[in-house]
Homo-oligomer: A and B are copies of this chain.
Amino acid sequence: MKNDGYLRALRGEPVERTPVWIMRQAGRYLPEYRATRAEAGSFLDLCQNAELACEVTLQPLRRFDLDAAILFSDILTVPDAMGLGLSLEEGVGPRFARPVRDAAAVTALGVPDPEGELRYVMDAVRTIVRALDDSVPLIGFAGSPWTLATYMVEGGTSRDFRRVKAMAYEQPALLHDLLGVVADAVGEYLKAQVAAGVDALMVFDTWGGALGWRAYREFSLPYMARIVETVKSAPNGSSTPVTLFTKGGGQWAEAIAATGCDAIGLDWTASLGEVRARLGEGVALQGNMDPMSLYGPPAAIRREVAAVLADIGDGGRHVFNLGHGVLPDIDPDHVAVMVDAVHELSARGAS
Protein backbone atom coordinates (compact mmCIF):
# COMPACT_ATOMS: atom_id res chain seq x y z
CA MET A 1 0.00 0.00 0.00
CA LYS A 2 1.35 3.41 -0.97
CA ASN A 3 0.28 5.17 2.23
CA ASP A 4 -0.30 2.87 5.17
CA GLY A 5 0.33 5.50 7.86
CA TYR A 6 -3.19 5.06 9.23
CA LEU A 7 -2.69 1.31 9.74
CA ARG A 8 0.79 1.77 11.20
CA ALA A 9 -0.47 4.37 13.68
CA LEU A 10 -3.25 2.01 14.77
CA ARG A 11 -0.70 -0.76 15.38
CA GLY A 12 1.65 1.55 17.28
CA GLU A 13 4.34 1.38 14.60
CA PRO A 14 6.45 4.44 13.73
CA VAL A 15 4.93 7.01 11.35
CA GLU A 16 6.48 10.02 9.62
CA ARG A 17 3.46 12.17 10.39
CA THR A 18 0.19 11.76 12.23
CA PRO A 19 -2.38 10.25 9.86
CA VAL A 20 -5.73 12.00 9.50
CA TRP A 21 -9.18 11.17 8.22
CA ILE A 22 -12.52 12.82 8.93
CA MET A 23 -15.73 11.33 10.19
CA ARG A 24 -18.39 11.84 7.46
CA GLN A 25 -15.59 12.98 5.12
CA ALA A 26 -17.75 11.89 2.16
CA GLY A 27 -20.70 14.14 2.70
CA ARG A 28 -22.88 17.15 2.28
CA TYR A 29 -20.25 19.82 2.98
CA LEU A 30 -18.72 18.96 -0.43
CA PRO A 31 -20.46 20.45 -3.50
CA GLU A 32 -19.32 17.47 -5.60
CA TYR A 33 -21.06 15.16 -3.11
CA ARG A 34 -24.27 17.15 -3.42
CA ALA A 35 -24.07 16.88 -7.20
CA THR A 36 -23.60 13.09 -7.14
CA ARG A 37 -26.32 12.75 -4.55
CA ALA A 38 -28.71 14.70 -6.80
CA GLU A 39 -27.79 12.40 -9.68
CA ALA A 40 -28.41 9.28 -7.56
CA GLY A 41 -31.84 10.30 -6.28
CA SER A 42 -32.33 9.59 -2.58
CA PHE A 43 -29.65 9.00 0.02
CA LEU A 44 -30.53 5.30 0.04
CA ASP A 45 -30.32 5.17 -3.76
CA LEU A 46 -26.80 6.56 -3.41
CA CYS A 47 -25.86 3.94 -0.80
CA GLN A 48 -27.23 1.19 -3.05
CA ASN A 49 -25.39 2.26 -6.21
CA ALA A 50 -21.88 0.81 -6.00
CA GLU A 51 -20.43 3.12 -8.66
CA LEU A 52 -21.83 6.31 -7.15
CA ALA A 53 -21.05 5.19 -3.57
CA CYS A 54 -17.49 4.67 -4.79
CA GLU A 55 -17.46 8.08 -6.43
CA VAL A 56 -18.49 9.93 -3.23
CA THR A 57 -16.06 7.82 -1.18
CA LEU A 58 -13.20 9.02 -3.39
CA GLN A 59 -14.23 12.68 -3.71
CA PRO A 60 -12.68 13.90 -0.44
CA LEU A 61 -9.41 12.09 -1.28
CA ARG A 62 -9.12 14.19 -4.44
CA ARG A 63 -9.47 17.41 -2.47
CA PHE A 64 -7.59 16.65 0.72
CA ASP A 65 -4.39 14.80 1.61
CA LEU A 66 -6.24 12.17 3.64
CA ASP A 67 -4.63 9.02 5.00
CA ALA A 68 -7.70 6.79 4.76
CA ALA A 69 -10.94 6.38 2.83
CA ILE A 70 -14.15 5.35 4.57
CA LEU A 71 -16.89 3.39 2.90
CA PHE A 72 -19.86 5.58 2.01
CA SER A 73 -22.88 3.97 3.63
CA ASP A 74 -25.14 4.37 6.65
CA ILE A 75 -25.29 2.55 9.97
CA LEU A 76 -29.03 1.95 9.46
CA THR A 77 -28.56 -0.36 6.47
CA VAL A 78 -28.39 -3.28 8.93
CA PRO A 79 -31.76 -2.75 10.68
CA ASP A 80 -33.23 -1.96 7.26
CA ALA A 81 -32.01 -5.37 6.05
CA MET A 82 -33.56 -6.87 9.19
CA GLY A 83 -36.95 -5.81 7.80
CA LEU A 84 -37.70 -2.54 9.63
CA GLY A 85 -38.38 -0.49 6.50
CA LEU A 86 -35.97 2.46 6.55
CA SER A 87 -36.80 5.81 5.02
CA LEU A 88 -34.42 8.75 5.09
CA GLU A 89 -36.10 12.01 4.33
CA GLU A 90 -34.23 15.29 4.09
CA GLY A 91 -34.98 17.40 7.15
CA VAL A 92 -36.97 14.63 8.85
CA GLY A 93 -34.19 12.17 9.60
CA PRO A 94 -34.35 8.39 9.49
CA ARG A 95 -37.66 6.62 10.14
CA PHE A 96 -38.46 2.96 10.50
CA ALA A 97 -41.88 1.84 9.28
CA ARG A 98 -41.82 -1.12 11.68
CA PRO A 99 -40.11 -0.19 14.97
CA VAL A 100 -39.28 -2.98 17.43
CA ARG A 101 -41.15 -2.55 20.69
CA ASP A 102 -42.29 -5.94 21.94
CA ALA A 103 -41.22 -9.55 22.26
CA ALA A 104 -42.99 -10.57 19.05
CA ALA A 105 -41.10 -7.95 17.06
CA VAL A 106 -37.77 -9.02 18.59
CA THR A 107 -38.46 -12.72 17.93
CA ALA A 108 -39.25 -11.93 14.30
CA LEU A 109 -35.79 -10.47 13.70
CA GLY A 110 -33.24 -12.52 11.81
CA VAL A 111 -29.60 -12.03 10.91
CA PRO A 112 -29.43 -10.70 7.35
CA ASP A 113 -27.10 -12.30 4.82
CA PRO A 114 -24.35 -9.77 4.08
CA GLU A 115 -24.12 -11.09 0.54
CA GLY A 116 -27.92 -11.16 0.25
CA GLU A 117 -29.97 -8.21 1.49
CA LEU A 118 -26.75 -6.29 2.13
CA ARG A 119 -24.92 -7.29 -1.01
CA TYR A 120 -25.09 -3.70 -2.26
CA VAL A 121 -22.76 -2.68 0.57
CA MET A 122 -20.30 -5.45 -0.25
CA ASP A 123 -20.45 -4.49 -3.94
CA ALA A 124 -19.62 -0.91 -2.96
CA VAL A 125 -16.66 -2.16 -0.87
CA ARG A 126 -15.33 -4.23 -3.78
CA THR A 127 -15.74 -1.33 -6.21
CA ILE A 128 -13.99 1.11 -3.88
CA VAL A 129 -11.12 -1.29 -3.15
CA ARG A 130 -10.49 -1.63 -6.89
CA ALA A 131 -10.63 2.13 -7.40
CA LEU A 132 -8.34 2.90 -4.47
CA ASP A 133 -5.76 0.59 -6.02
CA ASP A 134 -3.73 0.30 -2.81
CA SER A 135 -3.29 4.05 -2.41
CA VAL A 136 -4.72 4.37 1.12
CA PRO A 137 -6.57 1.96 3.42
CA LEU A 138 -10.34 1.62 3.28
CA ILE A 139 -12.27 1.75 6.55
CA GLY A 140 -15.45 -0.29 6.85
CA PHE A 141 -17.95 0.39 9.59
CA ALA A 142 -21.17 -0.41 11.40
CA GLY A 143 -23.26 1.04 14.19
CA SER A 144 -22.96 -0.47 17.64
CA PRO A 145 -25.81 -2.76 18.70
CA TRP A 146 -26.96 -0.26 21.37
CA THR A 147 -26.91 2.65 18.94
CA LEU A 148 -28.81 0.66 16.31
CA ALA A 149 -31.27 -0.49 18.97
CA THR A 150 -32.04 3.15 19.87
CA TYR A 151 -33.22 3.77 16.31
CA MET A 152 -34.99 0.42 16.08
CA VAL A 153 -36.99 0.94 19.28
CA GLU A 154 -37.59 4.70 18.97
CA GLY A 155 -38.46 4.30 15.28
CA GLY A 156 -36.03 7.05 14.33
CA THR A 157 -33.81 9.69 15.89
CA SER A 158 -34.54 10.74 19.43
CA ARG A 159 -33.50 13.56 21.71
CA ASP A 160 -33.93 11.59 24.91
CA PHE A 161 -34.13 7.87 24.01
CA ARG A 162 -37.20 7.58 26.18
CA ARG A 163 -38.65 4.38 24.71
CA VAL A 164 -35.43 2.41 24.55
CA LYS A 165 -34.30 3.53 27.99
CA ALA A 166 -37.72 2.69 29.39
CA MET A 167 -37.24 -0.77 27.85
CA ALA A 168 -33.82 -1.00 29.53
CA TYR A 169 -35.34 -0.29 32.94
CA GLU A 170 -38.69 -2.10 32.50
CA GLN A 171 -37.80 -5.08 30.30
CA PRO A 172 -34.03 -5.53 30.36
CA ALA A 173 -34.26 -9.16 29.18
CA LEU A 174 -36.17 -8.10 26.05
CA LEU A 175 -33.58 -5.43 25.28
CA HIS A 176 -30.81 -8.00 25.72
CA ASP A 177 -32.56 -10.29 23.25
CA LEU A 178 -32.73 -7.43 20.75
CA LEU A 179 -29.09 -6.45 21.29
CA GLY A 180 -28.02 -10.07 20.87
CA VAL A 181 -29.54 -10.49 17.43
CA VAL A 182 -28.30 -7.06 16.34
CA ALA A 183 -24.78 -7.96 17.53
CA ASP A 184 -24.93 -11.15 15.49
CA ALA A 185 -26.07 -9.18 12.45
CA VAL A 186 -23.34 -6.56 12.87
CA GLY A 187 -20.69 -9.23 13.42
CA GLU A 188 -21.60 -11.02 10.18
CA TYR A 189 -21.81 -7.70 8.34
CA LEU A 190 -18.32 -6.59 9.43
CA LYS A 191 -16.78 -10.01 8.72
CA ALA A 192 -18.21 -9.75 5.22
CA GLN A 193 -16.76 -6.25 4.80
CA VAL A 194 -13.33 -7.65 5.70
CA ALA A 195 -13.82 -10.48 3.21
CA ALA A 196 -14.81 -7.91 0.59
CA GLY A 197 -11.59 -5.99 1.16
CA VAL A 198 -11.76 -3.30 3.85
CA ASP A 199 -8.47 -2.78 5.71
CA ALA A 200 -9.83 -1.58 9.05
CA LEU A 201 -13.14 -1.37 10.88
CA MET A 202 -14.88 1.24 12.95
CA VAL A 203 -17.89 0.73 15.23
CA PHE A 204 -19.93 3.88 15.84
CA ASP A 205 -21.55 3.88 19.26
CA THR A 206 -22.97 7.34 18.72
CA TRP A 207 -25.50 7.11 21.53
CA GLY A 208 -23.63 5.03 24.10
CA GLY A 209 -22.97 8.23 26.04
CA ALA A 210 -26.69 8.57 26.79
CA LEU A 211 -26.44 5.54 29.06
CA GLY A 212 -25.41 5.61 32.68
CA TRP A 213 -21.99 4.15 33.42
CA ARG A 214 -23.46 0.89 34.71
CA ALA A 215 -26.04 0.70 31.91
CA TYR A 216 -23.28 1.28 29.34
CA ARG A 217 -21.44 -1.73 30.73
CA GLU A 218 -24.64 -3.77 30.56
CA PHE A 219 -26.26 -2.70 27.29
CA SER A 220 -23.56 -1.34 25.00
CA LEU A 221 -20.03 -2.45 25.80
CA PRO A 222 -20.50 -6.26 25.98
CA TYR A 223 -22.12 -6.26 22.54
CA MET A 224 -19.23 -4.27 21.05
CA ALA A 225 -16.84 -6.69 22.76
CA ARG A 226 -18.69 -9.59 21.16
CA ILE A 227 -18.31 -7.95 17.75
CA VAL A 228 -14.57 -7.38 18.27
CA GLU A 229 -14.23 -11.06 19.15
CA THR A 230 -16.30 -12.18 16.14
CA VAL A 231 -14.23 -10.08 13.77
CA LYS A 232 -10.88 -11.01 15.29
CA SER A 233 -11.56 -14.74 15.01
CA ALA A 234 -12.61 -14.54 11.34
CA PRO A 235 -10.27 -15.04 8.35
CA ASN A 236 -8.07 -11.88 8.01
CA GLY A 237 -9.85 -10.52 11.07
CA SER A 238 -6.93 -10.70 13.44
CA SER A 239 -4.96 -8.35 11.21
CA THR A 240 -7.85 -5.90 10.76
CA PRO A 241 -7.68 -3.07 13.30
CA VAL A 242 -10.98 -2.23 14.99
CA THR A 243 -11.73 1.24 16.38
CA LEU A 244 -14.58 1.68 18.86
CA PHE A 245 -16.09 5.15 19.10
CA THR A 246 -18.51 5.89 21.90
CA LYS A 247 -19.44 9.56 21.78
CA GLY A 248 -19.17 10.81 25.35
CA GLY A 249 -17.20 7.69 26.34
CA GLY A 250 -13.93 9.34 27.39
CA GLN A 251 -14.45 8.57 31.05
CA TRP A 252 -15.01 4.89 30.18
CA ALA A 253 -11.83 4.48 28.13
CA GLU A 254 -10.37 1.76 30.39
CA ALA A 255 -13.46 -0.38 29.96
CA ILE A 256 -13.51 0.21 26.20
CA ALA A 257 -9.85 -0.77 25.88
CA ALA A 258 -10.61 -4.01 27.74
CA THR A 259 -12.77 -5.21 24.81
CA GLY A 260 -9.59 -5.96 22.88
CA CYS A 261 -10.17 -3.23 20.31
CA ASP A 262 -7.14 -1.68 18.61
CA ALA A 263 -8.19 1.94 18.93
CA ILE A 264 -10.61 4.17 20.83
CA GLY A 265 -12.27 7.12 19.16
CA LEU A 266 -12.68 10.10 21.49
CA ASP A 267 -14.79 13.20 21.26
CA TRP A 268 -13.56 16.70 22.16
CA THR A 269 -14.64 16.49 25.80
CA ALA A 270 -11.76 14.10 26.55
CA SER A 271 -8.11 15.04 26.79
CA LEU A 272 -6.08 12.68 24.57
CA GLY A 273 -3.07 13.16 26.83
CA GLU A 274 -5.04 12.36 29.96
CA VAL A 275 -6.59 9.23 28.41
CA ARG A 276 -3.15 8.19 27.14
CA ALA A 277 -1.73 8.61 30.65
CA ARG A 278 -4.53 6.45 32.04
CA LEU A 279 -4.30 3.70 29.40
CA GLY A 280 -0.67 3.60 28.34
CA GLU A 281 0.35 2.73 24.78
CA GLY A 282 -1.62 -0.52 24.56
CA VAL A 283 -4.33 1.00 22.41
CA ALA A 284 -4.39 3.69 19.70
CA LEU A 285 -6.41 6.88 20.20
CA GLN A 286 -8.40 8.62 17.50
CA GLY A 287 -9.61 12.19 17.62
CA ASN A 288 -10.59 14.67 18.77
CA MET A 289 -11.00 18.21 17.42
CA ASP A 290 -14.37 19.89 17.96
CA PRO A 291 -16.14 19.85 14.55
CA MET A 292 -17.40 23.36 15.31
CA SER A 293 -13.84 24.66 15.49
CA LEU A 294 -13.88 24.45 11.66
CA TYR A 295 -16.17 27.49 11.70
CA GLY A 296 -13.16 29.52 12.86
CA PRO A 297 -10.71 31.33 10.59
CA PRO A 298 -7.67 29.40 9.25
CA ALA A 299 -5.32 30.73 11.95
CA ALA A 300 -7.70 29.53 14.68
CA ILE A 301 -8.03 26.12 12.99
CA ARG A 302 -4.25 25.74 12.93
CA ARG A 303 -4.13 26.66 16.62
CA GLU A 304 -6.75 24.01 17.40
CA VAL A 305 -4.81 21.38 15.44
CA ALA A 306 -1.65 22.34 17.30
CA ALA A 307 -3.48 22.09 20.62
CA VAL A 308 -4.82 18.59 19.83
CA LEU A 309 -1.34 17.42 18.78
CA ALA A 310 0.24 18.99 21.87
CA ASP A 311 -2.33 17.25 24.05
CA ILE A 312 -1.27 13.77 22.89
CA GLY A 313 2.36 14.79 23.27
CA ASP A 314 4.82 12.72 21.26
CA GLY A 315 2.07 11.61 18.92
CA GLY A 316 2.49 7.91 19.48
CA ARG A 317 -0.36 5.69 18.31
CA HIS A 318 -2.61 8.60 17.37
CA VAL A 319 -4.96 9.01 14.40
CA PHE A 320 -6.12 12.59 13.98
CA ASN A 321 -9.84 13.12 13.43
CA LEU A 322 -12.67 15.33 14.49
CA GLY A 323 -14.50 14.28 17.64
CA HIS A 324 -17.67 13.70 15.59
CA GLY A 325 -18.76 14.08 11.96
CA VAL A 326 -17.89 17.16 9.91
CA LEU A 327 -20.89 19.50 9.76
CA PRO A 328 -22.75 20.03 6.48
CA ASP A 329 -22.17 23.80 6.38
CA ILE A 330 -18.41 23.75 6.92
CA ASP A 331 -16.29 25.41 4.23
CA PRO A 332 -14.26 22.64 2.50
CA ASP A 333 -11.27 25.01 2.42
CA HIS A 334 -11.29 24.97 6.21
CA VAL A 335 -11.09 21.18 6.14
CA ALA A 336 -8.05 21.48 3.88
CA VAL A 337 -6.43 23.85 6.39
CA MET A 338 -6.98 21.27 9.12
CA VAL A 339 -5.65 18.29 7.13
CA ASP A 340 -2.55 20.15 5.99
CA ALA A 341 -1.89 21.52 9.47
CA VAL A 342 -2.05 18.01 10.93
CA HIS A 343 0.60 16.76 8.54
CA GLU A 344 2.80 19.83 8.78
CA LEU A 345 2.71 20.22 12.53
CA SER A 346 3.18 16.50 13.23
CA ALA A 347 6.00 15.87 10.74
CA ARG A 348 8.86 13.92 12.25
CA GLY A 349 12.04 12.47 10.75
CA ALA A 350 11.73 9.16 8.89
CA SER A 351 12.18 6.33 11.35
Which A residues form the contact surface with B (CB < 8 A)?
Answer: 159-162, 165-166, 168-170, 209, 211-216, 248, 250-251, 268-271, 274, 288, 290, 292-293, 295-297, 300, 304, 307, 311, 323, 327
Grouping DSSP codes into helix (H, G, I), strand (E, B) and loop, the A interface class, with mixed when no group exceeds half, is helix
A161 surroundings in chain B (CB, below 8 A): 292
CA distance A159 to B324 in the complex (A): 14
CA distance A162 to B160 in the complex (A): 20
User: Within the complex, what minimum Cβ distance (angstroms) separates A231 from chain B?
Assistant: 27
Measured CB to CB, the nearest residue on chain B to A272 is: B213
CA distance A212 to B209 in the complex (A): 15
Known: A248-B269, A251-B270. A296 touches B169 (CB 8 A): yes
Known: A250-B251, A292-B162. A270 touches B169 (CB 8 A): no
Q: Contact between B251 and A290 (Cβ–Cβ < 8 Å)?
A: no
User: Within the complex, what minimum Cβ distance (angstroms) separates A330 from chain B?
Assistant: 11
Q: Contact between B170 and A295 (Cβ–Cβ < 8 Å)?
A: yes
User: Within the complex, what minimum Cβ distance (angstroms) separates A302 from chain B?
Assistant: 12
Q: Contact between A269 and B209 (Cβ–Cβ < 8 Å)?
A: yes
Measured CB to CB, the nearest residue on chain B to A289 is: B212
Measured CB to CB, the nearest residue on chain B to A168 is: B292
Q: Contact between A323 and B251 (Cβ–Cβ < 8 Å)?
A: no
20 A-B interface contacts by CB (under 8 A): A160-B327, A162-B327, A165-B292, A166-B292, A166-B295, A169-B293, A169-B300, A170-B295, A170-B300, A211-B290, A212-B269, A212-B293, A213-B269, A213-B271, A214-B271, A214-B307, A215-B268, A216-B269, A251-B269, A251-B274
CA distance A271 to B211 in the complex (A): 12
Additional A-B contact list (19), CB under 8 Å, known A160-B327, A161-B292: A159-B159, A160-B292, A162-B295, A165-B290, A165-B292, A166-B292, A166-B295, A169-B293, A170-B300, A211-B290, A212-B268, A212-B269, A212-B288, A214-B271, A214-B311, A215-B290, A216-B269, A251-B269, A251-B274
